[in-house]
């Protein structure tokens, strides 16, 4: 049985922590709960005590056992600590080493892994000071469970909702399973560049052409690599996705901008994963003004863009190169051809004509074709789970 210390701070999402306590307990974890003073404005210690069947801790100076210092004892007892919800206030305190309540004192004293599930208004979440504080905590080894998007207590529909208890439980379960897997630590401290999303090629001041890529697979890979300890650089075309926390984010528009961004960073990278859907052609002439409608047909002349994956394959030195092949037919044939022609170490192929796993879908199913002849089929799952499996398959091979 693993010991989970749950820290509940003062946000309206504190009600979800009761459900989280129940789910953790039912899954066989021994759960002890700490509440800040502000958390008790939303939920009561009795609710957590009834579910966890353990004493609930609210006051650093209310020592239940005179032979112990309770915040040190709890810090040593925990196999993992979960802060859910984590308010902007508590995140900022932790990032600056403040210990003015039971929760912050215990968190500063623990050596167990700490999982933080933020919950706050989207503008608070994106405030530079909060972004910096979360980045600092991540550099200390704290693990963030990114908030979801939806209706917030303030009335906004945006990112900032505490992740659902079932998802948090799955993350904790996966963490303890991964501790038995030596591949978990293979990315610690490694530099990974990931491209994601579509490129946009301008025709005139109003019009452009692009593709249907949502960027979800690339963003999932960036978040998974981050969670596995890598230093991640994400080069992204325009998407509707929120920027992943804790990664270096480079926004680009065109294929040329993406190429320049990748080229300027490639030498410092250990692994490069090119998941973006990059335009193969761009208009030869771009008009500064809006093109006016005329009688008859319109003919536009296009020129080839730089083949980024081919360039990387020709110029790589120590980098492990991963490409994607989004195909509608003859998937295996095209993937194997791309593997040879682009000098990649692995090509990840998916059948985008299948709407259940294609563009904009939350799920994916891919087959990995490795340079050494290995082939690995990853059956349909969420793109987040597929991302972790892709990285595990890569890390078992790339160093050799």
Share of the chain above pLDDT 90, in %: 63
- Contacting residues for 84 by C-beta, under 8 A, at least 6 apart: 6, 7, 8, 13, 16, 17, 20, 115, 116, 117, 119, 145, 162, 163, 168
Ligand-binding site membership of 324 (annotated) = yes
What is the helix (H) or strand (E) element at residue 164, kind and residue range?
Answer: none
pLDDT, mean of residues 361-387: 90
- Please tell me the distance from the alpha carbon of residue 145 to that of residue 354, in angstroms, as a whole number: 30
In this prediction, residue 180 carries a pLDDT of 52
pLDDT, mean of residues 64-83: 88
pLDDT-derived band at 267, boundaries 50, 70, 90:
very high
HEC per residue, 52-90:
HCCCEECCCCCCCCCCCCHHHHHHHHCCEEEEEEECHHH
133-147, 266-280, 369-383: range with highest mean pLDDT: 266-280
Reply yes or no on whether the pLDDT at 230 is more than 80: yes
User: What's the mean pLDDT when you consider all of the chain?
Assistant: 90
In this prediction, residue 276 carries a pLDDT of 95
pLDDT, mean of residues 342-351: 92
Instruction: Choose the catalytic residue: 153, 154, 157, 356.
Output: 154
Better pLDDT: 231 or 178: 231
In this prediction, residue 141 carries a pLDDT of 83
Phi, psi angles (nearest 5°) of residue 82: -120, 125
Better pLDDT: 207 or 175: 207
| Region of poorest pLDDT, from 57-71, 275-289, 299-313 | 57-71
Better pLDDT: 137 or 328: 137
In this prediction, residue 56 carries a pLDDT of 95
In this prediction, residue 184 carries a pLDDT of 53
In this prediction, residue 159 carries a pLDDT of 77
Q: All domains of the chain, ordered by start, with CATH?
A: 3-178 (3.40.50.1950), 184-395 (3.40.50.10300)
Provide the CA 105 distance to its chain's centre, in angstroms: 28
Reply yes or no on whether the pLDDT at 241 is more than 90: no
- Contacting residues for 19 by C-beta, under 8 A, at least 6 apart: 165
Reply yes or no on whether the pLDDT at 329 is more than 90: no
In this prediction, residue 270 carries a pLDDT of 95
Nearest CA-CA partner of 275 in 254, 260, 258 = 258
pLDDT, mean of residues 258-287: 95
* Cis, bond preceding 85 (omega within 30 deg of 0): yes
Ligand-binding site membership of 48 (annotated) = no
Strand partners, 282: 303
In this prediction, residue 66 carries a pLDDT of 72
What is the helix (H) or strand (E) element at residue 149, kind and residue range?
Answer: strand 148-151
In this prediction, residue 149 carries a pLDDT of 77
Ligand-binding site membership of 204 (annotated) = no
Reply yes or no on whether the pLDDT at 211 is more than 90: no
Ligand-binding site membership of 280 (annotated) = yes
136-150, 214-228, 305-319: range with highest mean pLDDT: 305-319
154 counts as catalytic: yes
Ligand-binding site membership of 380 (annotated) = no
Phi, psi angles (nearest 5°) of residue 205: -70, -15
What is the value of pTM for the model shown? Answer: 0.67
In this prediction, residue 91 carries a pLDDT of 96
Better pLDDT: 202 or 140: 202
* pLDDT tens-digit readout, 113-162: 999 999 998 889 989 999 999 988 988 889 899 888 777 777 777 778 89
In this prediction, residue 399 carries a pLDDT of 64
pLDDT-derived band at 400, boundaries 50, 70, 90:
low
Reply yes or no on whether the pLDDT at 398 is more than 70: yes
């Amino acid at each position: 049985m693993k010991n989970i210390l749950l820290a509940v701070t003062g946000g309206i999402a504190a009600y979800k922590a009761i459900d989280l306590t129940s789910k953790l307990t039912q899954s066989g974890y021994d759960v002890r709960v700490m509440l800040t003073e502000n958390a008790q404005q939303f939920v009561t210690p009795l609710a957590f005590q009834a579910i966890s069947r353990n004493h609930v801790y609210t006051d650093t100076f209310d020592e239940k056992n005179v032979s112990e210092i309770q915040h040190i004892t709890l810090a040593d007892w925990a196999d993992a600590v979960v802060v859910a919800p984590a308010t902007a206030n508590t995140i900022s305190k932790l990032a600056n080493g403040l210990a003015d309540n039971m929760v912050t004192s215990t968190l500063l004293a623990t050596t167990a892994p700490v999982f933080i599930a933020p919950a706050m208004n989207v503008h608070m979440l994106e405030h530079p000071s909060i972004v910096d504080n979360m980045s600092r905590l991540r550099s200390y080894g704290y693990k963030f469970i990114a908030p979801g998007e939806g209706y917030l207590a303030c009335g906004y529909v945006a990112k900032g909702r505490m992740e659902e208890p079932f998802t948090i439980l799955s993350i904790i379960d996966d963490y303890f399973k991964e501790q038995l897997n030596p591949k978990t630590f293979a990315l610690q401290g490694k530099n990974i560049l990931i491209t994601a999303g579509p490129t946009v090629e301008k025709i005139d001041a109003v019009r452009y052409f692009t593709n249907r890529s949502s960027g979800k697979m690339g963003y999932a890979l960036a978040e998974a690599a981050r969670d596995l300890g890598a230093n991640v650089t994400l080069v992204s075309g325009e998407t509707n996705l929120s920027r992943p926390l804790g990664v270096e984010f480079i926004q680009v528009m065109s294929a040329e901008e993406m190429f320049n961004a990748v080229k300027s960073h490639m030498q410092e990278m250990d692994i490069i994963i090119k998941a973006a859907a990059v335009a193969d052609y761009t208009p030869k002439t771009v008009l500064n003004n809006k093109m006016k409608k005329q009688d008859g047909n319109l003919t536009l002349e296009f020129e080839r863009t730089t083949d980024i994956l081919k360039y990387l394959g020709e110029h790589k030195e120590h980098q492990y190169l991963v490409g994607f092949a989004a195909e509608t037919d003859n998937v295996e044939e095209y993937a194997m051809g791309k593997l040879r022609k682009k000098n990649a170490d692995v090509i990840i192929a998916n059948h985008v004509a299948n709407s259940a796993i294609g563009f904009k879908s939350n799920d994916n199913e891919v087959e990995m074709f490795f340079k050494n002849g290995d082939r690995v089929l990853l059956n349909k799952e969420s793109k987040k789970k597929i991302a972790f499996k892709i990285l595990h398959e890569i890390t078992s091979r790339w160093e050799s």
